[in-house]
A = this chain, B = another copy of it.
Amino acid sequence: MLINELSKRTGVSIPTLRYYENYGLFKGVSDEKVKTNNYKDYDESIVEKIEMIKGAKEAGFTLSEIKKLIDSWYNNRLSIDKKVEVVKNKINEIDSKIRQLKNVRKLLSECIVAIEKGDC
């Protein structure tokens, strides 16, 4: 698919997609058979990749962190153990973020009680 469809499929704007591609998060391929243009083609796997990027961003990871994760993910020079380690580290970070969020949630819940008592 072309970038316009990719944008519609993922809900990510075209400039942002180009920014991501330029950043190295994924790569579309110019069709070798077509010599008249260098329009790039993006396949289904890139839709998935972008959904993953969106999720990771929502989760508070930077593009740089996401890139590192993707790089080790798809890097065949890394051993399986090494890849697993990278991903496990990311999972630990996520767990810590979830704990932090639960903390803030607790604070806010307590705050509601305080507000209702008129203490705020």
Contact = CB atoms under 8 A, between A and B. Distances in A.
Interface string A69-109: 00001100000100110011011001101101111110111
A80 B116 contact: yes
Contact of A100 (B58, B74, B84, B102): B58
A115 B55 contact: no
B52 A83 contact: no
A116 B81 CA distance: 8
By Cβ-Cβ distance, the 7 closest A-B pairs, closest first, are A55-B104, A59-B104, A58-B100, A60-B60, A94-B105, A83-B115, A59-B101
Interface of A: 52, 55-56, 58-60, 73-74, 80, 83-84, 87-88, 90-91, 94-95, 97-98, 100-105, 107-109, 111-112, 115-116, 118, 120
30 contacts: A52-B104, A52-B107, A55-B100, A58-B97, A58-B100, A58-B104, A60-B97, A73-B111, A73-B115, A73-B120, A74-B120, A80-B115, A80-B116, A80-B118, A83-B120, A84-B115, A87-B111, A87-B112, A87-B115, A88-B112, A90-B108, A91-B105, A91-B108, A91-B109, A94-B105, A94-B108, A98-B98, A98-B101, A98-B102, A98-B105
